[in-house]
Amino acid sequence: MENAEKMFAEKNLMALASRYHVEAAKALEIQARLYPNPTVSAEFNLVDPQNKEYFHVGSTGQKVFAIDQLILLGGKRHTEMELSRQNSMIAEFEFEDLLRNLTLELHSNLYEVYFNQLAVRKFDQQLTLLDSIIVSYDRQAKKGNIPYKEVIRLKSVYIRINNEKTNFLGDILEQQKKLQVLLQSPEYVSPDLDLATWSKFERQHPVDSLVDVALDLRPDYKITKASINYANLNLQYQRRLAVPDLNLGAAYDQRGGAFLNQVGLTLSMPLPAFNRNQGNIKFAEHQAKSIGVQEQQVKSAIVADVTNSWLAFNRSIQEYAKARTMYNADFNTVFTGVSQNFQRRNITLLEFVDFFESYNETLIKMNNIERQVALSAEQLNYSIAYPLY
């Protein structure tokens, strides 16, 4: 499991692409800190009709130079920087949320592969035993010691169990394909679970504390709260856009002004007579209210998600504990005894097949119960955005 997580962190393409998106958002913070560029202009004489000269720009000619700088008023630049920082924060939370979803997919597929491989190994053990019995019975049937219908009945059981095994192998191939994409590796993964994993599942946690953890750590909730801040900042920004900006400049005019070689100060500002950004301000107000309502919806969904995940996990733990009290070493002992007695002809074929199929069904159910414990624990980890188990 640890090796798979390491490969995932290094090679998963979706995570790498999202990381680049975060870096791109941070680059916009740099852009927001930059001042507007000054504007430089020049005017040169093209035709001097009085002196009948072209490009008369010398000491007796005419030329004009000017420079203008836009001065942002009303705190626009500061708000733009805050908006960029908030946007970078949202990108970071989106990256965390992507990792959370991919981690759930990775762990779920690893657990599925582990338990399916475990089921296949158990099937192999049963099929090996059944195959040896079939070979022995087939030999006796050919000698006329037993009816051949008993061999056919055993072969039917073998085919059915082998078909179940084939279904599990098909599931493993499908899960391995998903793992290859997640890990960007052509190799098949054969996960293993530490025994300490099961002891961790026995620890119980109150649901209220888990809800608090989720509201602190869930990246989707962080995105919603950051979006509220962004919407409020955008509302401030739209209001500040209604404040006109100042163009400050200087100009040199060789002969076109009131004086020779005139140097002047230029000031310009748009008059907010018609456009005071009213529409954008109203839009930003409603957008902020809308996101505020969404925040309450997301919070309610998180509380429900954590509660349901907690209930599902505790139910699976109870089922597992109950099943473990019933399924013990006696099962294998009895199975071995039944198999030996059948081969010695101490029990009938019908009794053996009935017990064999019940035993096989029990193995699959126990495997499913254990798998459900692991998957429900992983779902609870996902719902609170913390590796609790």
- pLDDT tens digits, 101-151: 999 999 999 999 999 999 999 999 889 989 998 998 888 888 888 888 889
In the chain, which residues have pLDDT < 50?
none
Residue from 325, 322, 315, 316 nearest 369 by CA: 316
pLDDT of residue 314: 94
Q: What is the pLDDT of residue 328?
A: 67
At 344 the pLDDT is 80
- Residue 119's domain comprises 2-36+74-242+293-384
Can you give the pLDDT at residue 329?
64
Number of neighbours of residue 162 by Cβ within 10 angstroms = 15
Where does the chain have alpha helices with state H? 2-11, 13-33, 76-142, 148-183, 195-201, 207-217, 219-241, 278-326, 329-343, 349-384
How many whole angstroms separate alpha carbon 279 and alpha carbon 238?
Answer: 9
Residue 164 lies in a domain: yes
Question: Can you give the pLDDT at residue 22?
Answer: 92
Is 41 a member of any domain? Answer: no
Structure tokens at 2: 């640890």
Q: Domain total for the chain? A: 1
Q: Is residue 255 part of a domain?
A: no
User: In angstroms, rounded to a whole number, what is the distance separating the alpha carbons of residues 221 and 93?
Assistant: 9
211 part of a folded domain: yes
- Note the pLDDT of residue 79: 95
Q: How much is the pLDDT for 333?
A: 80
The pair of three-digit structure tokens given for residue 57, joined into one six-digit string: 């720009």
CATH of the domain at 139: 1.20.1600.10
Backbone dihedral region for residue 28 (phi beyond 0: left; psi -120 to 50: alpha; all else: beta)? alpha
Indicate the SS3 state at residue 245.
coil
Which secondary-structure segment (H or E) carries 195? helix 195-201
Residue-level pLDDT at 162: 94
Is 83 part of any domain?
Answer: yes
60 found inside a domain: no
Determine whether 179 is exposed, middle or buried from the number of CB atoms within 10 Å of its CB (0-12, 13-18, 19+).
buried
Contact between 22 and 88 (Cβ < 8 Å):
yes
The answer to whether residue 284 is domain-embedded is no
Per-residue DSSP letter, 189: P
Does residue 197 form part of some domain?
yes
Residues 6+ apart with CB under 8 A from 327: 362, 366
How far apart are alpha carbons 84 and 86 in whole angstroms?
A: 5
